[in-house]
Amino acid sequence: MRIGFFSGMLGGLCLISTLHAQEPDSLKAVSLSEVVVTESYQHLKNKNSTWRMEVVGKEFLREHFTGNLIQTLGTLPGVHSMDIGSGFSKPMIRGMGFNRISVVENGIKQEGQQWGADHGLELDAFNAGQVSIRKGPASLLYGSDAMGGAIELVPLPLPAGNRLFGEASLLGKSVNGTLGGSLMLGIKKDAWYTWARYSEQHFGDYRIPTDTIVYLTQRMPVYHRRLKNTAGFERDVSWAAGFRKERYVSSYWVSNVFQKTGFFPGAHGIPDVSR
């Protein structure tokens, strides 16, 4: 009798304590914020290869756009913009440039930056929809010019359905009074498509935060804090038409790029700020 009584009492106490521990008031709620993990196939591939390729899309180009494509890409690691005045630039990848870098637009090499120290790329920066930068030797893919790397430009993608499409962009900069814009209109009908773009930019003399410069210990004045003869303009026209259906693609592309800009008289030889 006594043994059974004590067993029953112990069992009841255990049951009561268990039920009491599971009451809602005794549980502490912990809220964890979400964790987002993103990765791309290209990033994984770059980690296992010494030959790196970086791809930037339209969102990156719009966010960092300066009116000059190479200056825009200069924000990427390993890519440098060699500026010539306020309108032209040459690309450099890991310290290599000129005829060691290949620039390809729609499968056609742009060799303007290889002609001389005062020549830049002849392309419309508004036309780029996606840019691939290959860092490292790429001569087997792009020829002997790509010893240091290659930059490949791809135009904006076509819409999926039959429709009219277009794009309008405006550009302004206070450092040299740049004002520019671009307008693109196109149409797609079944497998056929065509589009045209017109771009124009005007910029004034480059502004600097000083009123004097020093050349061989000689101080020279800079009137109105602007480098004379550095203004210019650019006009670009391009047109494309083609047929795209399943695996068959045929396209026709015509473009004309006109650039005119001045050079500061002190860029070569003894500066002459009076001109």
The domain spans of the chain are: 39-157, 158-275
CATH domain 158-275 topology: Aspartate Aminotransferase, domain 1 (3.90.1150)
Matching fold, domains 39-157 and 158-275: no
Task: Show the tokens assigned to 236.
Answer: 């670009």
Half-sphere exposure of 222 (CA within 13 A, CB side): 20
Q: Enumerate the β-bridge partners of residue 206.
A: 227
pLDDT higher for 198 or 220?
198
124-170 pLDDT, tens digit each: 989 888 999 998 888 888 888 888 899 999 888 888 889 999 999 99
How high does pLDDT run on average in the chain? 81
Residue count of the chain, please give it: 275
What's the whole-number mean pLDDT along residues 4-16? Answer: 44
Closest CA to 52 of 126, 148, 140, 122: 148
User: What are the structure tokens assigned to 64, written together?
Assistant: 């960092």
Q: Calculate the dihedral angle through the C-alpha atoms of 112, 117, 118, 120, rounding to the nearest 10 degrees.
A: 30
Q: Which comes out higher in pLDDT, residue 147 or 264? A: 147
Residue 67: pLDDT band with limits 50, 70, 90: confident
pLDDT for res 187: 95
Q: Is the dihedral of CA 198, 202, 208, 213 positive or negative?
A: positive
**Domain 39-157 -> CATH class:** mainly beta
The strand pairing partners of 261, in sequence order, are 232
pLDDT(49) > 70: no
Which has more pLDDT, 87 or 14? 87
So what's the pLDDT on residue 274?
A: 61
Closest to 98 in 3D by CA, of 85, 82, 87, 86: 82
Instruction: Tell me the mean pLDDT in the region 242-250.
Output: 88
